[in-house]
Chain A
Amino acid sequence: MAILETRQLNKHFGGLHVTGNVDFALQPGEMHCLIGPNGAGKSTFFKLILGEHLPDSGAILYDGEEITRAKPFERIRKGISVKFQVPGIFKELSVQQNLTIALQHHVAPEILQEEIDRLLAFLKLSQDRKQLAGNLSHGQKQWLEIGMAVALKPRLLLLDEPTAGMTPDETFATGEMLQELNREGMTLLAVEHDMAFVRQIAHQVTVLHFGKIFAQGTIDEITADERVAAIYLGEVDA
């Protein structure tokens, strides 16, 4: 059974369909990337899955259970977690506090510190635990947010351009982090622009175009598809 499934998912603003009848299924254990030109409806699709927007029609299923109209925090409690595009961290709080807030409602107080230390090591932020999160470098902020998302021990992790603004080295290190999480059994769905990064991590790639699924396959299949190259060059209309 798919861990995440959308059926005929529709969202339009006024006359403009931003997602049109999207049927999408994500298998457990998969690392899946969502790509597409600007305005393809990637971020709207993400917001529908998270419950930031509600769809006009269609259904969203998580683990076979319908969550189409559930509140965002309810979806999180079911085992979905998210990393936003712009680092969503608590800037005025220390790195350690950021992680504490992510961990505290499902980790017993006795092992809280242990868990924080483990996460800090994973994020390569052990040296900066007392630093205010707002003072971290851009890449470190992205990692901290990944850490907060992972702290919830989600089964499904959504990432909206996790490497935006990172140096190539940081991007590669991020890829390794995500692969490690995937090896531990986490399913990942990422919106991504950086094709080198997609090549590094993705098992499967879905191309969105004008709110519809345009192509699906492995990265090699997708890059070999001339129609996909064409939409990036703006030669194909919906």
Chain B
Amino acid sequence: MEFLYSLFSFFYQFGDAFAFLVLSACGLAVIFGMMGVINLAHGEFILCGAYVSTSATHMGVPLPIAIALGSLAAGIAGMIVEVVVIRPLYKRPLDTIVATWGISMIVTQGTLIVLGTTMAGSGTPFGSFTVGDYSYSIYRIVLVVMALATLAALWLMFTKTRFGILARATIQVPHVAEALGVNTNLIYSLTFGLGAALAGLAGGLYAPTMTLVPTMGAAFMVEAFVTVVVGGADIFLGTAPAAVVLGFIKASLTSWQGQLAGQIGMLIAVIIVIRILPRGISGKILKERA
């Protein structure tokens, strides 16, 4: 019995790590995979989602709707950023990473000035349950389900909807898509908006579990970065398997040595992976299939 308890505990840790990696990375991965842009303001879209959804819950909006609002707000903010800053830089992808860093600084410090050093949280809903000697948060299980649902929704969106098909066409052969009458600018805006909305979703979902401070976005960045580095440009063949592998490493190290060891171990694992698989897991898979 003791063994089953610790097995459950490990799976809980793993699911928690997996969900955090998927949710924090998928917005970054969508934008990188489709546009080749690494969005360093990713953490600030997460911040936006967290703050908007928490404010909404303070106003009495039910949590699921509040989270959707947070995601929507981040998505709209993302589309504005795309038009103003990203679009002029399409031909200079390395410059967009620097420009989005500038935006990140402006948003973090602006939030600090306008809303102060911290915002009252909304508390984790649903309570907890007990297995063996330990109690576990039900909300963490909800987050795992949400991570899987997000992946499923993205898969449906990119394979079954008109937007998804046009988006993939635009990314692969922009001039052909344009010649066929696709509004490529709109597609880029929507894609960036989608990435930002996913970041906002992560922010909204995790807001009830964290302290809300203007620099909270940075807490997601390392996980989002390493997942994208290992996963490469493809969200389904890359990000999801990367999150499984990294989640396993993180959960093992976390249950052995604590939270920080999980993070350090994950980063070291990634740096070693780079030496072996320079194009990430999806690069490896795609190369095999090409």
Contacts and interface: CB of A to CB of B under 8 A. Distances in A.
Interface of A: 13-14
5 contacts: A13-B287, A13-B290, A14-B288, A14-B289, A14-B290
Nearest to B288: A14
Interface residues of B, number: 4
Contacts of A13: 287, 290
B65 to A, nearest CB: 46
Contacts of A14: 288-290
Nearest to B290: A13
B51 to A, nearest CB: 43
A31 B35 CA distance: 44
Contacts, number: 5
Contacts of B290: 13-14
Nearest to B287: A13
Contacts of B289: 14
Nearest to A15: B289
Interface in B257-290: 287-290
A20 B283 CA distance: 24
Nearest to A16: B290
A13 B287 CA distance: 7
A151 B288 CA distance: 37
A14 to B, nearest CB: 5
A172 B283 CA distance: 42
Nearest to A14: B289
A14 B285 CA distance: 10
A179 to B, nearest CB: 39
A202 to B, nearest CB: 32
Interface in B183-233: none
A14 B289 CA distance: 5
A211 to B, nearest CB: 15
Give the top 5 A-B pairs by smallest Cβ distance, nearest first.
A13-B290, A14-B289, A14-B290, A14-B288, A13-B287
B36 to A, nearest CB: 19
A54 to B, nearest CB: 12
A18 to B, nearest CB: 10
A14 B288 CA distance: 5
Contacts of B287: 13
A41 B290 CA distance: 15
Interface in B1-47: none
A112 B290 CA distance: 45
A14 B286 CA distance: 9
Nearest to B289: A14
A72 to B, nearest CB: 15
A228 to B, nearest CB: 29
A14 B290 CA distance: 6
A191 B287 CA distance: 25
B216 to A, nearest CB: 40
Interface in B94-111: none
Nearest to A13: B290
A20 to B, nearest CB: 17
A52 B33 CA distance: 24
B289 to A, nearest CB: 5
Contacts of B288: 14
B50 to A, nearest CB: 43
A13 B286 CA distance: 10
A225 to B, nearest CB: 33
A14 B287 CA distance: 8
A14 B284 CA distance: 12
B125 to A, nearest CB: 48
A192 to B, nearest CB: 26
A52 to B, nearest CB: 13
A10 to B, nearest CB: 16
